[in-house]
């Protein structure tokens, strides 16, 4: 076998192993990654956190061996729902749009009971997955039809349909974390 044939065979095998170890999402990312999910997941789309390249993760002490990454289009492909909620509590009622948290976690192949959600400012919220799903948690990407931006509540915010459900009327804002970029599944 010639050197070029051997090189082709080795590269083909390495590509196959890489694709098996880290399957790509159904749709390749078209824009910047806005949400990364790590921990106990079955559908990673990237490898380990690299401190030399992933400076923001390193600065915030976020480490992982593999993760699922989502850009705006990938999250949008999961299907948007619209909910109404007052945020902050007892403030104006807005329409929020984004995929259900359960659909985002399913896309990542999440297997666990708890998630830790991290905001750009380092704020952390631990949520029981079953409770968040039962309460209709949405990974909002728009408010009143306008996509979130960095500097307001973006890139994403966890919201609940508080204006639509009497059982959520007294829910405080502690779990309504905004400017989220990372979710760890445990």
Task: Provide the pLDDT for residue 27.
Answer: 58
Residue 175 main-chain phi, psi, to 5 deg: -100, 5
Task: Provide the pLDDT for residue 130.
Answer: 98
Residue 5 lies in a domain: no
Tokens of 61: 């002490």
Residue 13 lies in a domain: no
Q: Which of 122, 108, 14, 149 is nearest to 62 (CA)?
A: 122
CATH of the domain at 155: 3.90.420.10
As for how many domains the chain has, the answer is 1
Task: Provide the pLDDT for residue 28.
Answer: 78
Helix (H, G, I), strand (E, B) or coil at 13: helix
Residue 76 lies in a domain: yes
Q: Which of 124, 81, 119 is nearest to 100 (CA)?
A: 81
Tokens of 138: 């949405």
- The tens-digit pLDDT sequence of the chain (186 residues) is 443 433 333 333 333 333 333 444 445 788 999 999 999 999 999 999 999 999 999 999 999 999 999 999 999 999 999 999 999 999 999 999 999 999 999 999 999 999 999 999 999 999 999 999 999 999 999 999 999 998 899 999 999 999 999 999 999 999 999 999 999 999
Residue 108 lies in a domain: yes
Task: Provide the pLDDT for residue 10.
Answer: 32
Residue 51 lies in a domain: yes
Q: What is the Cα–Cα distance from 109 to 164, expressed in whole angstroms?
A: 29
Residue 147 lies in a domain: yes
Residue 8 lies in a domain: no
Which range marks the domain in which residue 124 is found? 23-185
């Amino acid at each position: 076998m010639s050197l070029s044939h051997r090189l082709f065979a080795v590269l083909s095998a390495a590509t196959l192993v890489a694709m098996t170890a880290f399957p790509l999402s159904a749709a390749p990312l078209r824009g910047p990654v806005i949400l990364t999910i790590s921990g106990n997941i079955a559908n990673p789309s990237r490898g380990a956190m690299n401190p030399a390249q992933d400076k923001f993760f390193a600065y915030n002490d976020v480490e992982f061996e593999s993760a699922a990454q989502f850009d705006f289009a990938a999250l949008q492909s999961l299907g948007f729902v619209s909910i109404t909620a007052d945020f902050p509590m007892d403030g104006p009622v807005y329409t929020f749009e984004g995929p259900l948290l359960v659909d985002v976690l399913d896309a990542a192949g999440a297997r666990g009971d708890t998630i830790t959600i991290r905001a750009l400012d380092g704020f952390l919220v631990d949520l029981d997955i079953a409770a968040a799903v039962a309460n209709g948690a949405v990974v909002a990407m728009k408010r009143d039809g306008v996509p979130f931006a960095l500097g307001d509540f973006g890139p994403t915010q966890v919201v609940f349909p508080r204006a639509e459900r009497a059982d959520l009327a007294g829910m405080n804002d502690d779990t309504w974390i905004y400017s989220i970029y990372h979710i760890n599944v445990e």
